[in-house]
Chain A
Amino acid sequence: MLDSALSLFLQGRNFARLMEGLWVTLEISAVSVLLSMVLGILVGLMMISRNPWVRTPPRFYLEFIRVIPILVLLYLFYYFPARNWDLNLDAKVVAVLVFTLWGAAEMADLVRGALTSMPVHQRESGRAVGLTEVQINRYIIIPQAVRRLIPGVINLTTRMIKTTPFIFFINVPELTKVGQQIVEVAGMRNYLASFWVYGFIFFLYFIICYPISLFSLYLEKKWSN
Chain B
Amino acid sequence: MLDFISHIDLAFMVEAGPLYALAAKRTVFLAGAGIFLSLVIGLVSSLIRFYRVPVLKTLVGAYIELARNTPLMIQLFFLYYGLPRVGVRLDGVTCGIIGLAFLGGGYMAEAFRSGLEAVSRVQIEAGLSIGLKRTQLVRYVLMPQAFAVAVPAVAANTIFLMKETSVFSIVALADLVYVFKDLIKEGHSNENIYLLMIFYLIIILPVSLFFGYWERRMRRAGFSA
Could you tell me which A residues sit within 8 Å of B by CB distance? 63, 66-72, 75-76, 79-80, 83-85, 158, 162-166, 168-169, 176, 179-180, 183, 191-199, 201-202, 205-206, 209-210, 213
Contacts and interface: CB of A to CB of B under 8 A. Distances in A.
5 contacts: A63-B208, A71-B177, A166-B167, A202-B78, A209-B69
Interface string B65-94: 110111101110110011101100000000
B128 interface: no
Interface string B180-204: 1000100001100100110011001
A83 B77 contact: no
A84 B66 contact: no
A84 B1 CA distance: 7
Given A79-B189, A209-B69, A69 B166 contact: yes
Contact of B85 (A63, A85, A158, A192): A192
Given A67-B204, A68-B163, A71-B167, 14 more contacts: A67-B159, A72-B200, A79-B193, A80-B189, A162-B70, A166-B167, A169-B167, A176-B73, A179-B77, A191-B85, A193-B85, A195-B83, A197-B82, A198-B81
Interface residues of B, number: 39
Contact of A198 (B77, B167, B184, B200): B77
B70 A205 contact: yes
A194 B200 contact: no
A75 B82 contact: no
B196 A158 contact: no
A67 B85 contact: no
A72 B196 contact: yes
A22 to B, nearest CB: 12
Contacts, number: 115
Interface of B: 1, 3-4, 65-66, 68-71, 73-75, 77-78, 81-83, 85-86, 159, 163-167, 170, 177, 180, 184, 189-190, 193, 196-197, 200-201, 204-205, 208
Question: Mostly helix, strand, loop or mixed at chain B's interface?
Answer: helix
Question: Mostly helix, strand, loop or mixed at chain A's interface?
Answer: helix
A168 to B, nearest CB: 7
Given A84-B3, A85-B1, A195-B82, A69 B163 contact: yes
Contacts of A163: 71
A71 B175 CA distance: 13
A101 B58 CA distance: 38
A84 B193 CA distance: 12
Q: Which of A69, A79, A194 has the most CB of B within 10 A?
A: A69
Contacts of A85: 1
